[in-house]
């Protein structure tokens, strides 16, 4: 990742705005959502053979987006603030890192009495109402109209908030890159957060994400979300399987279909930092959405209370004025 100047920061912001506006036009009919415009992907776990072609393709296609940190890192205060450095461990492929936006998780489960190892591509779920984008204080993480949740590396300060609020703890931090270096590197920020952007720049050109294009087993399918949900349930019905992502965190644009329940998968996979779970997830933003409705009623309620409180006084004042005249 290159160091940015104020000019390039502004240029990038404007370009990003333009790109999003144009993104709906560039997509071919095969991947362009009719209405709604959100595109989703379906990952059919049965088909994955764990060859890691998707992982390699992701790393190759997105190499120019990966961080190139400046070292030594600026000393950060207070001392509890730790640098996160993956630049010497770029080859790590068994978990998510700033250089590995997609990895293969494995689970040994029993299917029809036979023990099998399933391999599962894991990356950002691209939530329909992503808390990382909703709660980002700078607008660095944002949801695009085509359903992609993207972190703009030129704006992100690396505060890690997106990871804290993400139900799957997907974004990963790299210190020594990004805007914070030009502001107060010792006192605020700590790098940039990185995660899958579902190849937004390829989608803009009408090309599928690299992981989908390079998969020899056609594990993934991309298309309008409603069609993808239908397809997920059709496959699930056919194999007596299960769907993940339709309602998780209010709905995600990455759906999985599995021959075993996701509770079983969740127990069987290795979980921890950089290794997301398969638990059921409630809608993180549901409470906030409900409170938003109350905001419409609040000023009306205040106004009604004032009328109740002051109506008599207002009437007596106008009567007094009337008599005075």
Partner 1 sequence: MQEDFFPERLIKRFYLFILFLMSITGFGQMPIFKRYYIADIPGLAWLANFYFTHYVHYIGAILLFAIFGYCIVGYLLVGRQRFRLTGSAYIRIVLLTAIAGTGIFRVLKNLPDIVFSPGFTMFVDISHLIFMMIFLLVTAVFLVMKTGWLTLRQ
- Site of interaction with partner 1 (CB under 8 A): 13-14, 16-17, 20-21, 78, 80-81, 128-129, 131, 134-140, 142-145, 152, 155, 159-161, 164-165, 188, 250-251, 284-285, 287-289, 291-292, 294-295, 298-307, 309-311, 313-314, 317
Nearer to partner 1, 42 or 285 (CB): 285
Task: State the minimum distance, in angstroms, from the CB of residue 190 to partner 1.
Answer: 9
Task: State the minimum distance, in angstroms, from the CB of residue 31 to partner 1.
Answer: 18
Is the bond preceding 78 in cis, omega lying within 30 degrees of 0? yes
Nearer to partner 1, 234 or 301 (CB): 301
Task: State the minimum distance, in angstroms, from the CB of residue 216 to partner 1.
Answer: 34
What letters, b where the CB count within 10 A reaches 16 and e where it falls short, cover 30-52?
ebbbeeebbbbbbbbbeebebeb
C-alpha to C-alpha distance for 173 and 165, rounded to whole angstroms: 14
What letters, b where the CB count within 10 A reaches 16 and e where it falls short, cover 126-159?
bbbbbbbbbbbeeebbbbbebbbbbbbbbbbbbb
Nearer to partner 1, 25 or 114 (CB): 25
C-alpha to C-alpha distance for 141 and 151, rounded to whole angstroms: 4
Give me the half-sphere count of Cα atoms (radius 13 Å) on the Cβ side of residue 25.
5
Task: State the minimum distance, in angstroms, from the CB of residue 224 to partner 1.
Answer: 15
Nearer to partner 1, 188 or 268 (CB): 188
Nearer to partner 1, 21 or 272 (CB): 21
Task: State the minimum distance, in angstroms, from the CB of residue 262 to partner 1.
Answer: 23
C-alpha to C-alpha distance for 171 and 49, rounded to whole angstroms: 25
């Amino acid at each position: 990742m290159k160091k940015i100047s104020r000019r390039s920061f502004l240029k990038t912001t404007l370009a990003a705005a333009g790109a999003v506006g144009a993104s709906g036009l560039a997509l071919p009919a095969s991947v362009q959502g009719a209405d709604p415009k959100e595109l989703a992907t379906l990952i059919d776990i049965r088909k994955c053979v764990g060859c890691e072609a998707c992982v390699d393709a992701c790393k190759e296609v997105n190499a120019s987006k990966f961080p190139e940190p400046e070292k030594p890192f600026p000393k950060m205060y207070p001392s509890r603030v730790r640098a996160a450095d993956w630049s010497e461990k770029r080859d790590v492929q068994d978990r998510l890192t700033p250089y590995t936006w997609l990895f293969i998780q494995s689970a040994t489960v029993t299917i029809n009495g036979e023990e099998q190892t399933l391999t599962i591509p894991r990356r950002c779920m691209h939530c329909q109402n992503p808390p990382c984008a909703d709660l980002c204080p700078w607008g660095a993480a944002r949801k695009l109209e085509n359903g992609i949740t993207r972190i703009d590396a030129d704006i992100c300060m690396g505060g890690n908030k997106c990871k804290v609020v993400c139900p799957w703890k997907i974004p990963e931090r790299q210190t020594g890159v990004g805007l914070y270096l030009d502001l107060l590197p010792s006192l605020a920020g700590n790098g940039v957060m990185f995660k899958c952007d579902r190849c937004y720049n390829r989608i803009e050109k009408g090309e599928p994400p690299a992981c989908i294009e390079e998969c020899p087993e056609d594990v993934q399918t991309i298309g309008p979300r409603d069609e993808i949900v239908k397809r997920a349930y059709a496959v699930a019905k056919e194999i007596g399987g299960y769907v993940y992502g339709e309602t998780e965190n209010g709905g995600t644009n990455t759906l999985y279909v599995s021959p075993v329940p996701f509770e079983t998968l969740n127990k069987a996979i290795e979980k921890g930092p950089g290794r997301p779970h398969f638990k059921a997830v409630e809608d993180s933003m549901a409470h906030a959405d409900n409170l938003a409705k109350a905001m419409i009623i609040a000023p009306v309620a205040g106004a009604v209370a004032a009328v109740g409180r002051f109506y008599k006084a207002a009437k007596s004042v106008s009567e007094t004025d009337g008599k005075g005249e």
